[in-house]
Structure formats: structure tokens, C-alpha cells
Structure 1
Amino acid sequence: MTNRTNATELQDQYNGTSGQDEYEDYYDDDYELEPLEVPLAIAVHDLAELMETTPVEVIKEFMRGGYMFSINEVVGHDLVVGIAPSFGFEVLPLEAESGAGSIVPSTDDVDPALLEDRPPVVTILGHVDHGKTTLLDTIRKTNVVDGEAGGITQHIGAYQRSRRCARGGAQVTDIAVLVIAADDGIMPQTEEAINHVKAAEVPIVVAINKVDRPEADPERVKRQLAERNLLVEDWGGDVIALPVSALTGDGVNDLLDNLAIVAEVSELKANVGRQARGVVVEARIDRSRGTVATVLVQAGKLHVGDNIVVGNLRGRIRAMQADSGEPVETATPSQPVEILGIRGVPEAGDILEVAKDERSARQLAEARIRQSEIKRAAGPTMEDVHTRIAAGEVKALNLIIKTDVQGTVEAVKGALNGLNTEQSRVNIVHIASGAITESDVLLGMASKAIIVGFNTEPGQGAMALANQEGVEIRHYNIIYNLLEDVELALTGLLEPVYRDVTEGHATIRAIFGVGRRFKVAGFYVNDGQIQRSSTIHVLRGGQNIYKGSISSLKHFKDDVREVNIGFEGGLMLEGFNGFEEGDILEAHRSERVR
């Protein structure tokens, strides 16, 4: 089927519509409202972002209902219910769960009788060369001898591969094992690992490794832990710290026994009766098998043949393989499996959910794309921190700071701590010297922190991940500018900065009437895309003759959210009917500069 149609075909798309009543019939015919989650109270500008439109359009719709609000005023859930259908949404009740489009899976709020025990998921963290890999190898050998450790063993092996499994907001790890070499003590990567574990708020077990070496000093390690507010049981705290030798195997059985005890105390359960849900640990392309994704099942049972959505991608499971390499037909909670059949390569941390059929999978994938766009714009920023503190959403301005040299660390830290007051404060989640890395961005996601680079820049991978996940990175080279911005942010005086982005261009090829009062422009997209939420500039002879919002966007007879390059469609603009063939439609959107 060709993407091109002539003017007559465009006219036929709207035939049979005469007069206002018939236009309304055309607009509402088979129009399916999309579910939308709205909090108890929301600012007008935030509501506009949520509904992918402009604050002006939202204010106008409230005015039609007899309400006058400014862009910064907060409106109630009940009022939003009344205007949402005008923008193609149906507001969900406040008690409703997030449903199929949710990016972060909800907890299993079900009858306890339906829950079953599951093995713990353990992550091993620590500084390079402190013995993480050797410890894993020793545990695997232990597993061969003692099958009872298997429930823990295989999962330690699965998750040591990538700490990025914490992405996406999913709680993946049940217990964190922090490996510290007794001869080295706490090193920079150890410090970073401690901050990650604290941000994730999971139980921590410390394995003091290499105690077989003559220069080993376990007491020094315990002292260093205490300095970082991790008090071990020997010193009256609640952190389990065990001496081990990954090389000889001494203490490894004690470590496994303690992990089992922590897991038992945590009472780890999963609902195996629901449709399966999981999280991607890693993914790659195999030349012979296509996309191969390692997935941790979190709830339900995953089967070969299931229709799945992974992140924004969808597919059908063609085959599954256990960590032992054996093919499996079913995977249960806390079990890692490799799956085949995803259309594309997902990211580590993407959520996998099972859909009842292919159509439902497609709808869920589309819903996730929309929510990911909203999520990117919803991360904490310097501009909105005061509002979030006042609303009780956050207790402080969380910062991750990277400086050019170690000597700058204490100076920046001391200056920022001097800004703390009774009403608001700065919480330095992590501060160190060096470039901004993907690990910093992951920590920013977990702790809802803003990353500050002082005379240092992020790597390409870190910047891409920050843009994707909505983590703000700010750059400074003068300490007074940093302090001024933080102080303004805490007092609510730092204004957001927006930029105009051109999304695409289209040429008008036909104009026809819909009733007596409305004109429809049939267009062909030359580049980019035209979105329902776009602000349209009508250009004629190089001059901008109109700027306004789209009131209707169609491809053939279907209402659509966007029309992409190489396709044709029809649109109507708010308050404008003066189209001429050859006019250029230029689509714009406003984007906050992060």
C-alpha cells in the first residue's frame, strides 16, 4: 500500500460531514479515551505536560467550564476528570492501580494465601581486585557439593554481571554483599558501592575478604565502616560482617548461611498466580539467535510462547534457557533466564510484562513510550526542588557532585553544607573527583538526585543515559555560581529555562470544508513528524502567518497522535481556516533545558 494519496482521497476521508453536529460525530466516532493517572492535586503546567498539550489549552478548557486558573495554580483531581476527555484521556480513580501502561510494577497486593516463598536475589558489589569474581567461583564450587545453597548461588552469579539492573525504578536486589579486601580496606569504588546500597535501601552483608593474607586487618575495615555509618554486629550495630577467603573457601559457608538467615527474616514472597513480570539484567545480539535478554522473573510464571512487552519493545518468547544452559519451558520468581523473541534490544533495567495477546502487547508498548516521555520531563530539577520540599515530596535537595581534583571535594562539600537551614537543606549523596559516569547517573536515578559537575564533564554514555532517564546534570566552573544556584533553588527563585524545538515540516496539498465553519488541510510530511501536541506555524512565502494548536489530527479516518515523514494526513487548527495549497506547516514543541 502506498503512503501517498491524492486530493480526492484526502477529501474522501472527511466526506459525509456537514454542519457542527456532524463534525462532532466525526470527531468522536470510535474515539477511545486513553487512561490517565492524575494525583489528588496537580499544577496546571504539570497537567499540561501529562496530557501532552500546552498550559494555554488546559487553561482555556477550564475557562469553558467556568473556572479561571493561572499556569502555576494547583487544581483538584475532580476538576481534571471533567476536562481530560477533551484531550483524549480518561482519568483513572485515585485508588486505581497504574495498570498496563505502568513503567514501575506495583507490589502484589493480593490474598496472602496466593503468595509463595521465593529465593533471595543477591548482588555482589565492591572495589576492583577485592575478590568479587573469585568469591563467585568459590560459591559455584560450593554449590556443586552442597545443593542447599543453590537457591542463593545461581542468583548471585546472574546479578554480578551488571549493576544496571537497578535501572527503571524496579526493586531487583533483596540483599547486597559488599566485598572488602582486608589488606586494602575501603577504596573509592567501595565508597561508591556503599552509596548505591544506601540509596536502594536493601539489607547489606559485608564479606571481609583475603583474611588469609599476612597483612590483613579486619578490624581496620570495621573501623572504616563505622566511619560511614555502617556499624557491624561485633561493635553493637546491625550490619553482618564476616571474614572470608574467597581463594581458600574459608568462611564462604558462613556467608551463605547468613544470607539464608537474612532472606528468611525478610520473608520474601511472590504471587505466582498472576501474569508474569520481570526485569532485564542484560541484553545482547547473537548472530545466530538474534536478541538474547537475561531476565529475572519477579512475579508470576513466564512461559515459552508468552506475548511480552520489555520496556518499549514487544515480542513473543520463542525459547528460554536457564543459567545452567539447559532449555526451560517455564521460569518462576527469582529465576534468571535467557529469552529469545524480543523485537529489538532492551536496556538493562527494562520491565518485562506478559500481555494476554499481541494486540494488548502493542497497546502496552505504546503506553510505555508515552509514559517514558513523561518520565523524562518529570525528574527532579533545580527549578522545582523548593516546590517539592514544600509539598513534602522530598526532604532535601539531593546532589551527586563530581569535581576535577580531589582537593576541590572538601571545599565544595563545606560550602554547600553551609547553606542548610531549618526549612531546607542540601543532602550530598555522593561526592568524589573524576568524570561523571553512568554509575553516577544510576545513583542519581536511585536517590532522585541532581548531578553537579564542577570543572568536569560527563562521558557520552553517561549523558545519553541521563537524557533517557530524566536525570539532570549541571555544570559549573566557579564555586560562587554553584552556591548561588543551589541557594536560589532552595528558596524557590530559580526559574526554569525552555527552548523551542522544531519537530518537522509538512506541505498542504488540499483544502476542503467540514461543515460551514471548519476547514481541513490535507498535508504530506516532508521531514520529522507532526504530533497532536505540536504547536503549528503556518508559513506562506517564508512568512509566519499563524501560530496555534491542533484541534484534530487524522491519518485516513483514524485519529492519531502523530503523522511521520513520508505519510499524509489531515488536520484542523484552533481558530484558523485560511489554508492555501502550498502552505508549509512547521511543527514546534517547547522543551525544558536540563
Structure 2
Amino acid sequence: MTKKRVYEFAKELKLGSKQLMKLLNDLDIDYKSHMSSLSDEAVNKVKDHLKKLEQPQDKQKEANSNKVKSDEEKKKKLQKKNKSKDQRKGKTKGTQQNNAGPRSRKNEIVKAKVEEIEIGESISVQEYAKLLGIEATDVIKKLIGLGVMATLNNEIDAETAQILGAEYGVETKIKEPEKPEELEDIEDKPEELIERPPVVTVMGHVDHGKTSLLDAIREENVTATEAGGITQHIGAYQAQINGRKITFLDTPGHEAFTAMRARGAQATDIAILVVAADDGVMPQTVEAINHAKAAGVPVIVAINKIDKPDSNPDRVKQELTEHGLVSEDWGGETICVPVSAIRKEGLDTLLEMVLLVAEMQEIKANPDRPARGIVIEAELDKGRGPVATMLVLKGTLKVGQPLVAGSIFGKVRAMMDYKGRRIKSAGPSVPVEVLGLSDVPNAGDVFQVMDEKKARAVAGEIQTVKREEELRRSGKISLDELFNSMQAGEIKELNIVIKGDVQGSVEALGQSLERLSTDEVKVNIIHSGVGGISETDVMLATASNGIIIGFNVRPDNNARKAAEKEEIDIHVYRVIYEALDDVKAAMTGLLDPEFKEVVLGQAKVRATFKVPKAGTIAGCYVTDGKVTNSAKVRVIRNGVVVHEGAIDSLRRFKDDAKEVMQGYECGVGLENYNDIKDEDILEFYTFVEVQREL
């Protein structure tokens, strides 16, 4: 018989590699990794064990045995972890003395009053002792025996609680934080629905005229009806055409559009994509198209600047076809309207097309129900307190009503419409400014009107859920977790955002990744583009529960901070096959990274100096984090990595320095690299070893 590797044998048994490796541990079979070869004796031992498990009389016995082993392993792991911790603190001796207490009572059997309990992600020692029906002092001693030093009011995590419960013969279950039932939306009956104004977001490349177009629509259809022609800006407004209204979200582009969708708030019905007739499709145009597609929102193209001498609407239509938007007059389904924001040409046609698409979409809502909608923006006003611009999506919001906005309780003290007039009620698709909230909610938070007592309770529950969720992992998918999620049937698609230094590399990487799709999971490229990884890319990955792969580019500061906050997986590569290998390995359960890159800081090159024998020295200002003389460094020029290497010298004035913190200047010399230029970004990083269990 040919020797089999662990992962091959796992496939043959229809098990995951990790499942088989756990079984090998239980059966005391030696191996090193999923690539290890197994002897015939080991293979037969596993098969015999699995056959025994199929016999009903042995199932419970084996399960109990495995549970005992698992509990013992967890206990040993916890003791080892805490022993190591104490050694680092220099407390090994003290801990050993403390451990003597429980050992002397080993023969005393303390029984719990229950067989099973359920807890959250953490619990205080005192509360846990009450659930077990055991004296808190005994529980504390038991914890000390496990190497955990705790007092009555200290919190212990769920894993420690499970190990502790096993010591008393009690099964500890961990309950998932649940969304309060009161926040579930009310199902409206079809006969209760009536037409509502469509909500429109305008997106497009910078300088293509988004703001000009919005201003032109506002001037033509809004301010002309106002006294004095002055509009109070509240982040949204309504335009009127042929007696029908359209609500425009005056957002700063698709970043806000995506941020709302990332929080589960689908506020937009239609997207207007502005493309300059003299410039054509640009990188941000492509981003906007991908954002709209990911949201499932219909797109109307406004070909702007047709007044320019070099405008070419047909070229725009041709370029749009490359991204799946084929104009109606070219046999497609995308409405394209030539407009000039400067001359105010084509605006009525554009608005009529919006109403036409809205009619086809059958955009309706029930106005006779408790209001529900989203927060567009919010701020703390010195004179008025928390102020939120809200968009009502369903029902009618009235002055005096209590509501919950995200985790914030409020009572509508006053409402103003988009013209700054005080109003008493607002129906579906109406944007309003609301006063009376207890705190400032987040943009994109869902709000809902409900009974005051219930509203206060729900706000409290949501705050509790948010705190518990902060203790848990975000739930964002990473390459490391992909295989487990596939095995559990949770992941059907792996959404990827690709950014690279040149278009050819981006296309090659995208095509190669898509070919990795299997029956279990489809690789879906939701956006690809040239240039550094931006905050917009992170927001798109957040909204689509995806990951970001960069080829020869780096995330900027804002993108890195956003990725840390949203827990988005960013992987950067210099070689295409390494990216393919990682994704493929993740999809087959073999990913086993040993080191993790940690960015220490960034510095901007303000000047360069030629120094005899030392080469080029970069005079830098540390903009973020810190610089250490032992760090690795990469040189980033316009978002693209042009060099990676080591630091040759780090100095503060005339003295050598071990590290330089943010806000200080320093001189940096690089090993074997002198082509440093002004405005380059130096990114300093190191690697830390990551212990992983397969």
C-alpha cells in the first residue's frame, strides 16, 4: 500500500484535514503536519476506529471519551498558558504555592446543583458560582488550580468557564448574542403599499460634475420655490418634476453610499452615474459601477459636460460597455442621458428617466405604520444637542414619538424639512432633521418608532449586544478562516477586491483567481483597479464581506486604519503565483501561515542628501507610528511599491537612534538603495510569529 499524506487521507474519508488531525491526536498517532505521510498501520488504526464509531453501542461511550480528552486538553492548555504568563511576570513561585491549596482538597468532592448552564461571552466569577450553586471561594480556588488568578468581581472568558464547569461535571453552553425581536421589521400587506418618491444617490469620478449636477437640479427644481432662494443644507433634499417628487441623498459620493450598505441599510433605490463626455470612464467611475452592482441598484448614466468642444458621448457609451453597461440606443438596458450642468440642459429628461425607472421598480411603502428608516448623517450641535438627518423609508414619523436609532434612544422634539421649515410629520422617502436624541447615532444606523418603554429597553439591549459583539470576532471572512467556513456551509462565495500597479497584472490576477472557483465556493471579483489600496476599497470589502488582494501596491494610512476597524483581511503580494497559492491553500484547508506582518509606522521624505560612502540619506518626518532601526522598510511612490529592503542607518540629528516616534524628524539610509525621491512614503514593518492550529 502506498503511503498516504494526511490531507489526501482526509479527502478519502470525506473529512476536513483539521478533523482528521484531531482524530490522529486522539489516537496518539505521530505526524507533523497535513503534509505528513501515514504508515499502513496508522491508516488501518483510523479506519478501525471509525468503524467502531458506526456501532450504536459505542457512539456515546466514544463521544464521552473524546469530550473528556477535549476537556483535559483545554485544561492543560489553560494551565500552560497561565503558567507561561506567570513566568513572564516572575510569579512562577507564587503560583505554585497557590496551587498547593486546591491540591490539598483534591479528595473533597464539591458537587454543582445543576448539570448544564448557559452563559454569554464572559461572566463574573461571582455570577458563575451562583449559577453552579457553589461557594464562590471554592470556585476561586479551583481557578487558582487551573492557573487563573481571579477575584469575585473579575470576568472570565467563555473558554475558561467551560473548563471550570467540566471540573464540576457541568456542561457550559455559550449563547450567541441575538438581535432583539422588537427590531424585526413589520411585514406590510401588499394592499397597504402606495407609491413613494424614489431615493437617488449621485456617484462618479472626481471632477466629472457630480456636485455641479446636484446644484443644477437643486436650483432648477428646489430653490426656485423657496422664499429668498436660501436652502438649509441637511444632507438630502427633494426635487419635483411633473408634480412628482424625487429624493436626492447629497452624500460625498459612493464612500457614504457603501458605508450605509455595509451597515445593512439599503437606502438608495436608483444610482445616477455621472461621466464626463470629454474624459470618459475613469478609475472612480469603475468603482462606482461596481458599488452599484454589488448593491443591486439600477444605474442611470448622466453623460455630463456635453457643452465642451471635445465632448464625445459615443466614446463614453463604448467604454461603459466594457463594464457591463450597454446603452439603450445600442441595444442594451442602461439609460444614458446627455446633460450639461453648466447650461442646465437635459436635467428634466434625466429626472423623467429617474421616475420611469422608479415606476418599473414599483417603489412603494406603507405610510400608515410606525416609521422606520435610516440615519443619513448626525452631529453634536452646541446649541441644539444631538442632531440627526433621517430618511423615512416606511411609515410616518411624527413630533413627540419615541424611537430607537441604532443603540440610541430618542423622542422627536422637533423636525425640520430640507428647506429648514418646522414640520409635524414626515412620510416615506422624506428627509428630515430630528432633534431630541439622547446621543449622536452613526450614519447608516436604522431607526424605528416604538412604545417609549420598549424603545428604552431595546436601546439598552442593543448596547449590550454591541458590547458582547466587541468581545467576539467581527465575522468578516479571512483567508485563514475560509476553509472552516466552507466546511460549515457558511461561505458560498469568496468576494475579492483586487488592486495592482498596472492593469495587465490586475487582469491576469483576476482571471487566475476566478479559475480557482470550485463546487463549494465561487471566487467573485467584485472590483479591480490600478493604484494603491484606498479606504473606498476597504468599505466595498466591508459591504460585500470580502477580502482585499494587492499586487505590488500598499494600503494608505486611512485604508489600513479602516481595515483594522472593520477587521478586513488585506493581503499584499509581489508575485502573482503566491497570491494564487494562498487563496488555493485556503480553499483546500491547507493554509498555515507562520508569520504575520505588523506595520510599525510611516514617514514622508521631505528632502534627500548625498553623503560620501553612505549614499543617499532621506530626511523624513514620521507621520504615523514609529521607526525602529531593526525594521524592514518599503519605499512607496504614488501608492506603488518601488523597493523593499532593510534600514542601513537611522539618525536623529548627528546621533544614531534606535527608534523615532510619530511627530519627529529623522534621517534614514537604506541598504543597497539610493533612488529615494522627495514625497516618497517609507513604510516600516516587522514580522511576528503566529502560532496556528490546523
TM tier relative to shorter chain = 0.5 to 0.7
TM-score by length of 1: 0.64
1:427-466 superposed matches below 5 A: 427-466=524-563
Out of 353, 356, 368, which is 2:448 matched to? Answer: 353
> Where does residue 52 of structure 2 map in the other structure?
none
CA 431–21 in structure 1, closer or farther in 2 if over 3 Å, else same? closer
Of the structure 1 ranges 156-165 and 201-210, higher mean CA displacement relative to structure 2 is found in 156-165
Aligned to 2:494: 397
1:175 CA drift (Å): 0.4
Greater C-alpha radius of gyration: 2
- In the alignment, which residue of structure 1 is the partner of 2:196? 118
Distance change in 2, residues 1:495/1:330 (3 Å) = farther
Q: CA deviation at 1:439?
A: 1.3
Q: Which residue number corresponds to residue 53 of structure 1?
A: 158
**CA separation of 1:384 and 1:125: change in aligned 2, threshold 3 A:** same
CA shift digits 1:292-313 (9 cap, x unpaired): 2221112222233333332233
- Superposed CA deviations along residues 396-450 of structure 1, whole A, max 9, x for unmatched, are 3211122355564345335434534566443221122333222112211232211
Distance 1:480 1:274, change over 3 A: same
Aligned with 1:215: secondary structure? coil
Distance 1:64 1:387, change over 3 A: same
Q: How does 1:369-448 map to 2 (within 5 A)?
A: 369-370=466-467, 372-373=469-470, 377-389=474-486, 393-404=490-501, 408-420=505-517, 424-448=521-545
Deviation string 1:354-378 (CA, Å, 9 cap, x unpaired) is: 3422532433432541575488521
Shift of 1:454: 3.5
| TM-superposition CA deviations, 1:465-504 (whole Å, max 9, x none) | 43444432233344443222101122232359999xxxxx
- Rounded Cα–Cα distance in structure 2 between residues aligned with 1:260 and 1:410: 37
2:195 aligned with 1:99: no
What corresponds to 2:207 in structure 1? 129
Q: CA deviation at 1:280?
A: 1.7
Q: C-alpha separation between the residues in 2 aligned to 1:169 and 1:464?
A: 21
Q: CA separation in 2, counterparts of 1:362 and 1:378?
A: 23
The equivalent residue for 2:365 is: 270
Q: Determine which of 312, 317, 321 is the counterpart of 2:407.
A: 312
CA apart distance, 1:241: 1.0
Deviation at 1:60, TM superposition (A): 7.6
Query: 1:223 offset after TM fit, Å?
Result: 1.0
Output the CA distance in 2 between the equivalents of 1:118 and 1:58. Answer: 56
2:313 partner letter: P
Higher relative contact order (CA 8 A, sep 6+): 1
Q: What letter is aligned with 1:220?
A: R
Is residue 263–residue 543 contact of structure 2 (8 Å, CA) maintained in 1?
A: no
1:220 is matched with which residue? 315
In structure 1, what is the Cα distance between the partners aligned to 2:198 and 2:473?
A: 31
Distance between the aligned counterparts of 1:111 and 1:478, measured in 2?
A: 55
Partner AA of 1:110 in structure 2: D
Q: What is the aligned length? A: 437
SS for the counterpart of 1:383 is helix
Contact 2:498–2:549 (CA<8 Å) still a contact in 1?
Answer: yes
The equivalent position to 1:328 in structure 2, one of 419, 423, 435, is 423
Looking at structure 2, the residues matched to 269 and 55 of structure 1 have their Cα atoms a distance apart, in angstroms, of 51
Q: Report the Cα distance in structure 2 between the residues aligned to 1:275 and 1:206, rounded to whole angstroms.
A: 35
Q: Distance in 1 between matches of 2:434 and 2:593?
A: 43
Name the residue aligned to 1:249. Answer: 344
Point out the more displaced range, 353-362 or 272-281.
353-362
In the superposition, the TM-score normalised over structure 2's length comes to 0.55
Q: Which amino acid aligns with 1:185?
A: G
**Mapped partners of 2:262, 2:405: distance in 1:** 13
Paired with 2:132 and 2:399, the residues of 1 have a C-alpha distance of 40
Q: Aligned in 2, Cα 1:19/1:220: closer, same or farther, shift over 3 Å?
A: closer
Question: In the superposition, relative to structure 1, how do residues 402 and 275 fare at CA in structure 2: closer, same or farther (>3 Å)?
Answer: same
Partner of 2:628: none
What's the C-alpha RMSD, in Å, of the aligned pairs?
Answer: 3.9
Note closer, same or farther for the CA distance 1:168–1:376 as it changes in structure 2 (3 Å cut): farther
Equivalent position SS for 1:360 = helix
Q: What whole-Å deviation, never above 9, does each CA across 1:90-145 have from its counterpart, x for those lacking one?
A: x99xxxx9623x5xx64x52322332321110010111111111111221233147
Deviation for aligned residue 1:291: 2.5
**Paired position in structure 1 for 2:248:** 155
Measure the CA separation in 1 of the matches of 2:212 and 2:368: 38
| Structure 1, unaligned runs of 5 or more | 1-17, 30-51, 66-82, 500-589
User: In the alignment, residue 248 of structure 2 is paired with which amino acid?
Assistant: H
Query: How far is 1:394 from its partner?
Result: 4.4
Query: In 2, are the aligned partners of 1:122 and 1:159 still within 8 Å (CA)?
Result: no
Report the alpha carbon displacement of residue 203 of structure 1 after superposing the two structures with TM.
Answer: 0.9
3-state DSSP of counterpart to 2:316: helix
Distance 1:345 1:435, change over 3 A: farther
1:279/1:465 Cα in 2 relative to 1: closer, same or farther (>3 Å)? Answer: farther
Question: What amino acid maps onto 2:513 in structure 1?
Answer: L
Conserved in 1, the CA contact under 8 Å of 2:247 and 2:429?
no
Contact 1:304/1:317 (CA < 8 Å) preserved in 2? yes
